Amino acid sequence: MAIDNKKPACTRDELQQARFLIRHVDYKKQPVSVIIFAFEELVYAYINHCMHMHRPLNCEQDAIFDETGKFLRCSMHGFIFDPKTGECQSPVCFGQRLQALRLEEVDGTIYFAEKHLTLSD
Ligand code: FES
CA separation for the pair 90, 66 (Å, rounded): 13
- Please report, for the chain, the start and end positions of each structural domain, with discontinuous segments joined by +: 1-49+99-121
CA 106 – ligand 1 centroid, Å:
34
CATH class of 1-49+99-121: mainly beta
Q: Does any ligand 1 atom lie closer than 6 A to the CB of residue 53?
A: yes
CA 20 – ligand 1 centroid, Å:
19
Confidence at residue 96, expressed as pLDDT on a 0 to 100 scale: 98
Residue whose CA is at the smallest distance from ligand 1 atom 1: 53
Q: Check: CB of residue 7 under 8 Å from CB of residue 118.
A: yes
Q: Which pLDDT tens digits describe the chain residue by residue (121 residues)?
A: 555 578 999 999 999 999 999 999 999 999 999 999 999 999 999 999 999 999 999 999 999 999 999 999 999 999 999 999 999 999 999 999 999 999 999 999 999 999 999 998 5
CA nearest neighbour of 118 among 3, 2, 8: 8
| Residue 73, burial from CB neighbour count under 10 angstroms (0-12, 13-18, 19+) | buried
CA separation for the pair 31, 38 (Å, rounded): 23
pTM of the model: 0.94
| Residue 68, burial from CB neighbour count under 10 angstroms (0-12, 13-18, 19+) | exposed
Confidence at residue 45, expressed as pLDDT on a 0 to 100 scale: 98
